Structure 1
Amino acid sequence: MISREEVVRTAESIAAIQQDDGGVPWPEGHVDAWNHIECLMAMSVAGLGEPVRRGYAWLARHQRADGSWPMKLVDGVPTELGGETNHAAYIAAGIWHHHLVTGDQRFTEESWPMVKAALDYVAGLQTERGEIVWERDALGRPSAYALLTGCSSIHQGLRCGVLLAEHLGDPQPHWELAADRLAHVLTSHPEAFADKSRYSMDWYYPVLGGAVRGRQAFELLEREWATFVVPGLGIRCVSDQPWVTGAETCELVLALDALGDRERAVALFADMQHLRHEDGSYWTGWQFANRKHFPHERSGYTAAATILAADALSGFSAGAGLFRDLAGTSVFDPDVCGCAADTGLRASAEGH
């Protein structure tokens, strides 16, 4: 575990890389909305109000008329023009988290139009089966496929959006239906998603995003535990490389915490602390065959994931239960799509 003071130091390492315009960049220098929002959430936990406000102002300036954000921006200039659905959906998680942490009703109300535009963009890219394609390209064309990790994060965003809508007295039932349909596809239709199974995120994200809970979630995590978890170090980013990464490890911590598996969550969080730098920042990863940090960088998103995991385990803020409490009670009837509920994950399990 790390202390409240250590959390603040880590948040200050994120604030130190924030650009003058409010964007929080990757080490390579570009900003994307998803990682930017995660960094704002982490700084909110630590009480760094001013950089958080500048960060949300950055999002408001760069949101496009259709509700999306450019995939990448450098110095405020879009360099990749496609609009990722998981980037857009995460604004709802960020604003709901900010509301939980700060109780700032005025800010929540002012941010609501930004959230509505973003989630309507996302819901508009849901297929008839229920998955949500990963982007609309620079020419406005929807992608031909969906990503499991991205859709799991979108599920979280939609659930947070529903909670915001209820809080503000502006119900958005189409978001709830979209979340229910998406949860069904995530649990029952693995064929709906491009195969990215070598990435650990595709393994645990359905749990992290709230679509899978209970016994099914424990079975899902058990299935690839030995593939991705490296005792004493954290979890692999990809199954075929001797490389553990801090952000993925902390996201798995959050998923375990959401299931009430505190023992393994605490152990994994302790395991990844070898990535902590003396200034409170975190190395992105560790190549344990060569015994070198890889890539040779300390990233804001790794620091952010660490803070969110620390908060979940220690309850530093009123947003500590964000991932734990977001699972919805689906009213979706699986017979609508002509399948039996949960057959997809079960079939996948039998195939391993």
Structure 2
Amino acid sequence: MTEQVPRHGDATSTAGEGDGAGFPAEADFPLEWGQVVETARSIAAVQEPDGGVPWPEGHVDAWNHVECLMAMTVAGLTGPARKGYDWLACTQRADGSWPMKIVKGEAVEKGGESNHAAYVAVGVWHELRVTGDEEFAREMWPVVRSALDFVVGLQTTRGEIVWERAADGRPAPYALLTGCSSVYQGLRCGVLLGEHLGDPQPDWELAADQLGHVLAAHPEAFADKSRFSMDWYYPILGGALRGPAAHARLAEEWETFVEPGLGIRCVSDQPWVTGAESCELVLALDALGDRERALKLFADMQHLRHDDGSYWTGWQFVNEKWFPHERSAYTAAAVVLAADALLGRTGGAGVFRDAGAHATDRPTAACGCSHARSR
């Protein structure tokens, strides 16, 4: 018999859903839930008057902004989260994108990134799963639909999605593995949201199928960023890779990136562990049902916690200094989302675990596979 746990809203979620192996007792967890809420409040504390949630240096981008909104929703901070979604609706451009960087309401880098636009679908789907608020989802649906249409417009014939459209309208000449992995999750969440709202989007589903195949089978489609840990675990985090292939991928670079007792490196060639990447790997491990290592890694990165509940971005473990010397809202957000996934506190706890539930192999004639079929 599974334990019924409350979530923020009128509905309930069931602990043990998905392919996780069960949820730990909160007494055995590295943080009390009140401490998780305190971390979410540290995000709300830096939210700007217009609703944007900035990086420490002051700019807002849509991807990290959405992640912060998701964390505040998990903690029941509905007002600040909804203010952040209003910000997204107000700053979205006519083509469905957001500027790469916005400072004090002004676009300072005007290109539009595909992964930024796609992640809005993850946020809105997550918000619906946590709160059950259908009216909110319907209000945000035009924003999501425009954003994912922008994303799909950047897909190549082979199936990868290039990382940006420049301010002059030109698409980028290459795609990024981490970005496309996040885009994959965004497309899957958008498909689920559209079906839920009675407005199915088969073109997004086809785009996700083709992108998922390229992510799983065609590393040559992406610029080489293999020194970054994100390129290692993101195909799993975003849902394109599951099963034996995912476990093998983690095993291949585990010793390269994981620093026992500290977390994981941001890049393979620097002695620097980062909280956000560590918690994203926690989410990827949870998605594979590897909860023992997920819990261990989550506990290991708690040395980054500040007394006020915020988190230092990273730790340079040779010089033994915070690096950079900042506490970031996006790191706090990753901590909150990882805690929810591990504890199953809300209806959104499985949003990463479920990302690979609908994976379909759909190569194109352009990908070079012997069994490819045309689009």
Work out which of the residue numbers 136, 151, 154 in structure 1 matches 2:180.
151
Kindly provide the amino acid, as one letter, of the partner of residue 327 in structure 1.
G
Kindly provide the amino acid, as one letter, of the partner of residue 369 in structure 2.
C
Kindly provide the amino acid, as one letter, of the partner of residue 34 in structure 2.
E
Query: 4+ residue runs of structure 1 moved beyond 3 angstroms?
Result: 328-338
The question of whether the paired residues in 2 share the 8 Å contact of 1:334 and 1:340 is answered with no
What is the CA deviation profile of residues 235-282 of structure 1, one whole-angstrom value per residue up to 9, with x for unaligned ones?
A: 000000000000000000000000000000000000000000010000
Residue pairs, 1:1-352, within 5 angstroms:
1-334=30-363, 336=365, 337-339=367-369
Deviation at 1:333, TM superposition (A): 3.8
The question of whether the paired residues in 2 share the 8 Å contact of 1:177 and 1:332 is answered with no
Corresponding residue number in structure 2 for 1:346: none
What SS does the aligned partner of 1:334 have? coil
Flag the structure with higher helix content. Answer: 1
- The range that moved more, 323-332 or 257-266, is 323-332
The separation in 1 between residues aligned to 2:240 and 2:333, in whole angstroms, is 23
The separation in 1 between residues aligned to 2:239 and 2:344, in whole angstroms, is 19
The separation in 2 between residues aligned to 1:3 and 1:339, in whole angstroms, is 49
What SS does the aligned partner of 1:280 have? coil
The separation in 2 between residues aligned to 1:95 and 1:329, in whole angstroms, is 19
Deviation at 1:16, TM superposition (A): 0.3
Kindly provide the amino acid, as one letter, of the partner of residue 176 in structure 1.
E
Kindly provide the amino acid, as one letter, of the partner of residue 298 in structure 2.
F
Deviation at 1:334, TM superposition (A): 3.3
What SS does the aligned partner of 1:117 have? helix
What SS does the aligned partner of 2:108 have? strand
The 1:206–1:331 alpha-carbon spacing in structure 2 relative to 1, beyond 3 Å, is closer
Deviation at 1:2, TM superposition (A): 1.4
What SS does the aligned partner of 1:80 have? strand
What is the CA deviation profile of residues 96-130 of structure 1, one whole-angstrom value per residue up to 9, with x for unaligned ones?
A: 00000000000000000000000000001000000
Gaps of at least 5 residues in structure 1 are: 343-352
The separation in 2 between residues aligned to 1:170 and 1:328, in whole angstroms, is 20
The question of whether the paired residues in 1 share the 8 Å contact of 2:157 and 2:364 is answered with no
Kindly provide the amino acid, as one letter, of the partner of residue 139 in structure 2.
E
Gaps of at least 5 residues in structure 2 are: 1-29
The separation in 1 between residues aligned to 2:44 and 2:226, in whole angstroms, is 34
Kindly provide the amino acid, as one letter, of the partner of residue 117 in structure 2.
A
Of all paired residues, the percent bearing the same amino acid is 72
Q: How many residues align?
A: 342
